[in-house]
Amino acid sequence: MSKLPRWLMPLAHKNAFIFNPSPRDFTVEEIPLYDFSGEGEHLALKIRKKELTTWEMLGVLSDHLGIRQRDIGYAGLKDKHAMTIQYISIMATHAPKLEDFTHPQIKILDRIRHNNKIRIGHLKGNRFHLRFKKVLGVQKEMLDSVLAWIKMHGVPNYFGHQRFGMYGDNWQEGQKILSGELKMRDRKNRAFLISAYQSYLFNNWLSKRIELCRLLEEFSEREAEEVLKLPEGTLAGSKKQKNFFKILEGDLLMHYPYGRIFYAEELPKEAERFAERDLSVTGLIPGKKVKLAEGAAREIEQAFDEEIRENGSRRYAWIFPTEIKGKYIPEKAHYELGFFLPKGCYATNVVDLLRGYRE
């Protein structure tokens, strides 16, 4: 269990609301990166699906249209156990074949011409709506309090549980592939399992950084260094930063919610920009062709850096949900929550923080 801010921990047993991801209680709407042009040889389709993965939905449509699945453009993968709205693209010449398309779990809501095929990552983010059940009055007050904290501080950007498979052990197979213990010819599955291991290393690094932040809430910088066995001075200047998540010297930062990567050099100034959500700290997804942190930040990062033949990258360690709206319905004991997250971020990070823990 990855610990979060100390004052949130008592909520682990008190905030035992029910949230079962389902089309009735969990909706996700993809927000395109830009408006579609209204002209061009491609056709952008606004698709609503339920109880299907994006791959399953694409398979149904490719079979109906008589085209290869890879000829359909999409920006991202959406949850299976939810009502989701996302955009895909096909060549406009296939439009007549859509006239007789019907499916109990897929509905085409809109269509518009566009100049280009939709590509992976071509989205701003996703808008989520969740319904929690069996929320009593005291729990409602706790949810309101934690949401207020989230609005001020943000949430950790862990890779979600679904990244690691039904039993949470995908990463172990990825580790075995890298060590040579497991051979796998299927390139797609091999890459997926290795990425699960990279995600596992990132999550462990993030948990260590959050442990550091929790220690700084209770102890001096030197005491925290001793607990974590860090060289003296590693945490210099970090405790006085007003953000819960602390920037360290040598951290790789990135403009938020997108932009260029650069090293942390002027901590007081960059901590202020972090508080203003102008930038955020990035964590390492280990692999080839990736920048590494330096100095104090590297002291912690290096324990989670392994030689991996796949390309690595940097990922935001801390993110800021926006458009947060909570509504309590006392007669049903329901709490409805809506928020927006940038692409690549999981709603489970918000839910876990509201529960007061992370499994």
Active site residues: 79
Query: Are 161 and 352 in contact, with CB atoms under 8 Å apart?
Result: no
SS3 for 209-252, per residue? Answer: HHHHHHHHHHCCHHHHHHHHCCCCCCCCCCCCCCCCCCCCCCCE
CA distance linking residue 217 with residue 6, whole number of Å = 8
* DSSP helix/strand/coil, 273: helix
Of 261, 236, 230, which Cα lies nearest the Cα of 248?
236
Bridge partners of 280, per DSSP, are: 254
Report the candidate in 257, 256, 261, 252 with the shortest Cα–Cα distance to residue 283.
252
Task: Return d(Cα 103, Cα 165) in angstroms, integer.
Answer: 27
The owner of tokens 């389902």 is: 22
Q: Which of 358, 277, 262 is nearest to 318 (CA)?
A: 277
Could you write out the DSSP letters of every residue in 277-308?
TSEEEEEEE-SBS-----HHHHHHHGGG----
Contacts of 163 (CB under 8 A, 6+ apart): 170, 196, 199
